[in-house]
Amino acid sequence: MSTRSTLLTALLSLGLAGCIHTPWAAHRIHVAQRQVLDAPDSAAGWMALGEAYRRAHSPRKARAAYQKALALDPSFTAAQAAIAEIQPRHRIRRLEKKALRDPGNDEIWGDAADALLESGDAEKALRFYLHALRIDPQDEEWINRVMTLGGQETLLEMYREQMQTNPDSDELMGDYGDLLETMGRHEEACLAWQRAQQLDPEDNEWHDKVSGCAASGDSSQAATSLLEALRARARENAGDDEVQGTLGDALVAAGHPEEAIEVYRRALEIDPGDAEWLDKLVAIGGEPKLQILLGLSERFPTNDELWGNLGDLYLDLGQREDARAAYRKAAALDPGDDEWQQKLRMFGTKEGGKAGEAPATIPEIPE
């Protein structure tokens, strides 16, 4: 058997021949294969073949070629680096695909996040850990990883969202307090633990934490101090809805829902289009959301976000004509906001598009 035939057989045995790729990738691979066939003992030739496969997104074949180059020249540092780089990337891609096939498995998302973190992609790893945490909000491993990567504020927001839908859960409120304490926000943590104790007076965990909030064994002084500081800050920043909302959150945690309702109303008056204050007001006060939005639309008729929120609610209620009218109002107020145009396209050309437009495919609205 000729040397070339022997090398071709070797390529086939390594899985480095007979592959289907795009024309440009196939050309690069073909050139590299010819070089290997002409100079089978050239580590550089095998390295070039590995690079061709890497650029063609064939990590397994690229790794086999790199390993062959390294076998020919154990001191070939470029091949060593390529193998070290491609292994975690291949693992990450495999785990990402596995996670997408099983979107409700927090362990797989966590494994993918671990691999991303090992590769140095901390930003993407944080997103994967947060996804794992949304699947299993009680998993301390994901909580600790998110905290380590600086995602504390996102964690707090996740807890707030959960507490809106589960306002009577002392465990959620207590965990929220634990997170605040970890972040060094001791007085706010005391308020949360105090609220958890109110929700479940029989739970000794909350009793112990509330008792430890102040040197005297009573957290009322710390709680009062924080609320007074937040009230003063809210008075000084009367036009800042975020400051008002923070006070509202603290009042809820301290067990003062009536005052919190008034504070959330103030926040909503400052920014009528902020759905966060609206949702919190509805969750605590029980007033129908539609009634609140209609009242706001009369007082703030030029706020496009407000009309958009009204359109969303009408759509949830199945009132398509009213929803379309609200989105059209929002689009007229802010023609440059693509969100309203996108939502209008849900109704098709006859309902949402301009005259003479071809029928549009209804896009999926991002959450």
Structural domain includes residue 14: yes
Question: Taking all residues of the chain, what is their mean pLDDT, rounded to a whole number?
Answer: 78
Q: What is the CATH classification number for the domain harbouring 299?
A: 1.25.40
Structural domain includes residue 52: yes
Q: What is the CATH classification number for the domain harbouring 22?
A: 1.25.40.10
Q: Model-level pTM?
A: 0.42
Identify the domain boundary among 99, 116, 142: 99
* Position 139 confidence tier, pLDDT thresholds 50, 70, 90: confident
220 vs 169, more confident: 169
Is residue 260 within 8 A of residue 252, CB to CB? The reply is yes
Owning domain of residue 17: 10-99
Tens-digit pLDDT profile for residues 316-338: 888 989 999 999 999 999 998 88
Structural domain includes residue 267: no
Structural domain includes residue 340: yes
Assess whether pLDDT exceeds 90 at residue 262: yes
Distance CA(168)–CA(232), nearest Å, equals: 29
Mean pLDDT of 190-197: 82
Is residue 119 within 8 A of residue 88, CB to CB? The reply is yes
Mean pLDDT of 182-199: 81
CB atoms within 10 A of CB 80: 14
Structural domain includes residue 25: yes
How confident is the model at residue 224, as a pLDDT?
A: 63
Structural domain includes residue 212: no
Q: What backbone phi and psi angles, to 5 degrees, belong to 103? A: -65, -15
Mean pLDDT of 70-91: 75
Assess whether pLDDT exceeds 50 at residue 358: no
Q: 253 to each of 16, 219, 349, 352, how far by Cα in Å?
A: 63, 13, 48, 43
Distance CA(54)–CA(51), nearest Å, equals: 5
Distance CA(79)–CA(66), nearest Å, equals: 5
**Which is nearest to 52 in space by CA: 97, 17, 81, 104?**
17
Is residue 307 within 8 A of residue 315, CB to CB? The reply is no
Which range has highest mean pLDDT (142-151, 163-172, 308-317, 340-349)?
308-317
Mean pLDDT of 71-97: 74
The proportion of the chain whose per-residue pLDDT surpasses 90, expressed as a percent, equals: 11
364 vs 255, more confident: 255
Identify the domain boundary among 60, 75, 99: 99
Identify the domain boundary among 64, 99, 134: 99
Structural domain includes residue 35: yes
* Position 217 confidence tier, pLDDT thresholds 50, 70, 90: very low
* Position 357 confidence tier, pLDDT thresholds 50, 70, 90: very low
Mean pLDDT of 112-116: 80
Count structural domains, the chain.
2
